[in-house]
Amino acid sequence: MTLTIALIGSGAIGSRIVELLDAGTVPGVRLAGVVPHGNAGTGFSFEEALEVADVVVECAGVAAVAEFGPRTVAAGRDLLVTSIGALCEESLRTKLLDDGPGRTFLTTGALGGLDAITAAGAGGTIHRITLESRKLPASLVQPWMDGETKERLLTATLPVELLRGGPGELIKAFPKSTNVVSALALAAGNWDVVEAVLIADPGARHTAHHVVAETSLGTFDICVTNEASPGNPASSALVPHAVVRGLKSLANASGSFI
Ligand SMILES: NC(=O)c1ccc[n+]([C@@H]2O[C@H](COP(=O)([O-])OP(=O)(O)OC[C@H]3O[C@@H](n4cnc5c(N)ncnc54)[C@H](O)[C@@H]3O)[C@@H](O)[C@H]2O)c1
């Protein structure tokens, strides 16, 4: 059986997914088209995506999840989300994860170890998860920052702690940096156990995430240092491969979870 997909977003992640599919790395998966941003006519629309695609793959940002996600699952199509931070918002989360009839899948994205945390959450108790994310200062500049704040961030010579809090605090201030913290909360099945620290590190060569999950079934200490995506220094090169790996699992019932 062929799994037909449609993409929303053709930036660093989406365009790499297109390359991987075009190269034939995912037998059994066919790309029907890419939904354009705004009025950029490409001859393919979201309505068409709903008609032809088994899975709509979002790689366009948290706003696009809110715009297209509920309509996708309501139409009985499956949705694969990369902008997991969007699920911080409770009503959207319910529409995507509970309402159906389409199913919502979340990519493992830039992180590892989510499988162990999910298993521990299902079979035991998650006491606490801490996440320390280090990123290059330039990737953390936000539209709400005034000139002085931006200047201080960009000229910092030592690491600067920008924010400490849960997924809710992070999504308000750094919406593009909430995917990992939200993925952890979703894996834990609890939005209150995760505390994140976001650090702008002028010495960072890569984005790095250090997760410590303390659970009744063990402590998981996970360090991931991501190579940057060639198309977007704020994105990780791993993410399109995580999405494609997810599509492979959906297309081929291999029975393997690793
Ligand atoms: N889960 C993870 O670990 C993880 C890691 C990195 C990025 N992400 C998510 O993936 C998203 C995409 O990352 P990227 O590096 O490719 O970003 P990018 O900025 O390079 O590309 C985003 C693309 O989406 C398009 N787009 C935006 N809104 C759209 C809309 N409403 N309709 C159609 N197209 C739209 C833009 O035009 C652009 O082409 C990020 O916003 C982020 O939320 C997730």
The residue contributing the CA closest to ligand 1 atom 6 is 235
Q: Is the pLDDT of residue 40 over 70?
A: no
pLDDT digits (tens, 9 = 90+) for 78-129: 999 999 999 999 999 999 999 999 999 999 999 999 999 999 999 999 999 9
How many angstroms is it from 124 CA to the middle of ligand 1? 34
How many angstroms is it from 13 CA to the middle of ligand 1? 7
What is the enclosing helix (H) or strand (E) of 232? strand 232-236
Q: Which residue has the tokens 């918002």?
A: 89
CATH C-level class of 114-226:
alpha beta
Average pLDDT, the chain: 93
pLDDT the model gives residue 175: 85
Site to probe by mutation for ligand 1, drawn from 139, 232, 235, 243 as the one with most ligand atoms within 8 Å of Cβ, is 235
Instruction: Give the pLDDT band (50/70/90) at residue 255.
Output: low
How many angstroms is it from 11 CA to the middle of ligand 1? 6
In a 10 Å sphere around its CB, with 0-12 CB exposed, 13-18 middle and 19+ buried, how is residue 148 labelled? Answer: exposed
Q: Is the pLDDT of residue 233 over 90?
A: no
109 CB under 6 A from ligand 1? yes
CATH C-level class of 3-106+238-251:
alpha beta
Q: Is the pLDDT of residue 15 over 70?
A: yes
133 CB under 6 A from ligand 1? no
Of 254, 246, 252, 258, nearest in space to 20 by CA = 246
pLDDT digits (tens, 9 = 90+) for 191-220: 999 999 999 999 988 889 999 999 999 999
pLDDT the model gives residue 124: 97
Domain ranges of the chain: 3-106+238-251, 114-226
d(C-alpha 214, C-alpha 157), whole Å? 33
Q: Is the pLDDT of residue 134 over 70?
A: yes
Lowest mean pLDDT, pick from 28-42, 69-83, 161-175: 28-42
DSSP helix/strand/coil, 224:
strand
How many angstroms is it from 8 CA to the middle of ligand 1? 8
How many angstroms is it from 109 CA to the middle of ligand 1? 12
